[in-house]
Amino acid sequence: MLRRMTGQDHLRAKKSSKRRRAGRKWVPVSKSEAKKIKALLGY
């Protein structure tokens, strides 16, 4: 299960190009969060 990087929706002008590029990647959800999401989805 993947999620977007946090803090990438606004104030992009002040962030470095490296931080903005890194923000485009998807990162895995932690095991505890995945468990909560699956419970809410009914899996």
Closest of 4, 40, 42 to residue 22, by C-alpha? 4
Per-residue pLDDT reduced to its tens digit, 2-40: 999 888 889 989 999 999 999 899 999 999 999 999 999
The pLDDT, as a whole number, for residue 7 is 87
Token code pair at residue 24 = 């485009």
Q: How many whole angstroms separate alpha carbon 37 and alpha carbon 1?
A: 9
Domain count, the chain: 1
- Structural domain span for residue 18: 2-41
DSSP-derived pairing of the beta strands 26-28 and 2-4: antiparallel
Q: What is the mean pLDDT of the chain?
A: 92
The pLDDT, as a whole number, for residue 38 is 94
